[in-house]
Chains A and B, each alone.
Chain A
Amino acid sequence: MRRYSVFAIAREALRYHTGWERAWRAPEPKKKYDAIIVGAGGHGLATAYYLGKNFGITNVAIIEKGWLGGGNTGRNTTIIRSNYLQDPSAAIYEKARSLYETMSQDLNYNVMFSPRGLIMLAQTEHEVRGYQRTAHANALQGVATEFISPQQVKELVPIINLEGPRYPVLGGLLQKRGGTARHDAVAWGYARACSDMGMDVIQKCEVTGVRTEGGKVVGVSTTKGDIDCDKLGIVVAGHTSVLAEMAGFRLPIESVALQALVSEPIKPCMDVVVMANTVHGYMSQSDKGEMVIGGGTDAFNNYTQRGSFHHIEETVRALNETFPIISRLKMLRQWGGIVDMTGDRSPIISKTPVDGIFVNCGWGTGGFKAIPGSGWAMAELMAKGHSPLAEEFHMYRFREGKFIDESVAAGVAH
């Protein structure tokens, strides 16, 4: 792999950039791989990357129905944080966040991780107590957060309205090293690194069946023919139920549309990411200047990547109230993604009833921030059969009543 650097750019500039090589190869599938990952989104690519990097397993194919990074990786609001309440969540999200810190250097691809700080606003007494609890939990989990006063919030977010007539800002949970990254670049950077390790990223290849023998996986059928494997990782977010059905098991998952929108770009006016969970809205400003805004999910199963407009209304209303200046901006574009919600809204990283099949799903509305941690844990689980990070996220926890419920701290998982 030719390394990217300012010198490489200068060199290429002299020959009009005609010498750049492909970021990732476009191979035809081999007959067999040690491991196949279905889904070349961030989680799938990260799984493959850490299989190679941490365990030396490089005879790997990542199979993608559409184009890599084309699912939720490319349609989220790019927020990265790890200020979760429950230990298992804090562990995996903090692992992910710390891997984001060095991702650009690790991948030699600038993913523009920007630890610009993230505030979750407390707008009721109940939320104040909830975030104070999170701050105490985080202190023991090795996650650096602090509960700050309304005045400190105002200093960090000058455009905020502290005295909303309905929900005054009573404080906020600040994670200074939370922030954003460039979502597409995460997928592209991983794909390039995987390809460089000799893995095959196979796009426009749809899995049509999962082949098992005697309760063990032997391969998949695809639109590009049958491909054999010893281990199969299903990492397809909203479409997990469809793949699970092919493999013959059901999951505690429902797929719903989550919506987001951006404004037209304006000059920088908000450096930190702000989440206002009481009023269900969150917002950051991208490096392009767009205000990137996320909202809620629909109440019905949906595979269309289109959501209902009244959610957009509710979100924008909340943000007009919290940040009065945005009322005079314009919404440039709205879109939806299909997210998979589990019974406790926490993810599943787990073995399955089929030997050799592993599943990584259920990230709901908060998958992007977890990508490297999720890939790390999934790779460890696939390579070694167990992973401390994935330990609590197994799919059997529902029947045991061992929930990982993050909604308890008035938090929503975006």
Chain B
Amino acid sequence: MLTLQCPYCGVDAEETELQGGGEAHLKRFGPGSNDDDFEGYLFLRENQKGIHFERWRHAYGCGKWFLAARHTNTLEVFGTYPAQSTEPPQHIKDAISAKLPGWKWGNFS
């Protein structure tokens, strides 16, 4: 039973208030893109046993989407941040590095 802090309303939201939205920081590939890019965008997933950047919506709260950095095996949450982010904030990356030195996820490390 996770709790995640919604970065918009500041609430420590219960999992039951939230709606999961899968992997974060996907780059959309539209018409004209090649098959590899499109497959990578829509289907291929990091799915690490370790760090995971993911989307959540505070569906039964403020309604906002936000992003979280979470460990898939300890369930530690390294931080949450607005969905309007193209990469995780440095302080969250630092928090991950403290626990998972040398981590790599997609284009982030």
Contacts and interface: CB of A to CB of B under 8 A. Distances in A.
A303 to B, nearest CB: 5
B49 A251 contact: no
A343 B41 CA distance: 12
A299 B43 CA distance: 16
A309 B14 CA distance: 12
Contact of B47 (A299, A301, A310, A399): A301
A300 B54 contact: yes
Nearest to A242: B49
State the majority secondary structure of interface residues on B: mixed
A241 B15 contact: no
B44 interface: yes
A303 B72 contact: yes
B15 to A, nearest CB: 6
Contacts of B95: none
Given A241-B47, A242-B49, A308-B1, A299 B19 contact: yes
Interface residues of A, number: 23
Interface string A112-129: 000000000000000000
Contact of A252 (B1, B44, B49, B70): B44
B51 to A, nearest CB: 10
Contacts of B75: 302, 304
Contact of A398 (B22, B39, B54): B39
A71 B70 CA distance: 24
Contacts of A365: none
Interface string B54-77: 100000000000000010110100
A-B pairs, top 6 by smallest CB distance, nearest first, are A299-B20, A252-B43, A241-B47, A399-B39, A250-B44, A398-B43
24 contacts: A241-B45, A241-B48, A250-B40, A250-B44, A251-B47, A252-B43, A254-B45, A298-B20, A299-B19, A300-B2, A300-B70, A301-B47, A301-B54, A302-B72, A302-B75, A308-B1, A308-B2, A309-B1, A310-B15, A310-B16, A343-B42, A398-B43, A399-B35, A399-B38
